[in-house]
Amino acid sequence: MKLIIRQLAKNDYRPYKELFEEAYYEYLEALRHSDLRQYHKEMQNRRKVTLSRFNFYVQTGSSFVAEIDDTVVGYVATQTIPFMRGHDKVLWIEYIVTRREHRRQGVAIALMEKLKDHAKQHRIGSIYATINPDNTASIKLHQKLGFIVKKWITASL
Q: Report the C-alpha gap between 22 and 139 in whole angstroms.
A: 20
> Per-residue pLDDT tens for 120-130?
999 998 998 88
Q: Domain 3-144 belongs to what topology? A: Aminopeptidase (3.40.630)
Instruction: Evaluate if residue 115 carries a pLDDT over 80.
Output: yes
Which residues, 6 or more positions from 45, have their beta carbon under 8 angstroms from its beta carbon? none
**What's the mean pLDDT when you consider all of the chain?**
89
Residue 32: pLDDT band (50, 70, 90) is: confident
Q: What is the pLDDT of residues 69-79, one digit of tens each?
A: 999 999 999 99
pLDDT digits (tens, 9 = 90+) for 35-90: 788 778 877 877 788 999 999 999 999 999 999 999 999 999 999 998 887 778 89
Cβ contacts of residue 121 below 8 Å, gap of 6+?
A: none
pTM for the predicted model, two decimal places: 0.86
Residue 143 amino acid letter: Q
Candidates 93, 111, 113; CA nearest to 102 is 111
Calpha distance 65→37 (Å, rounded): 33
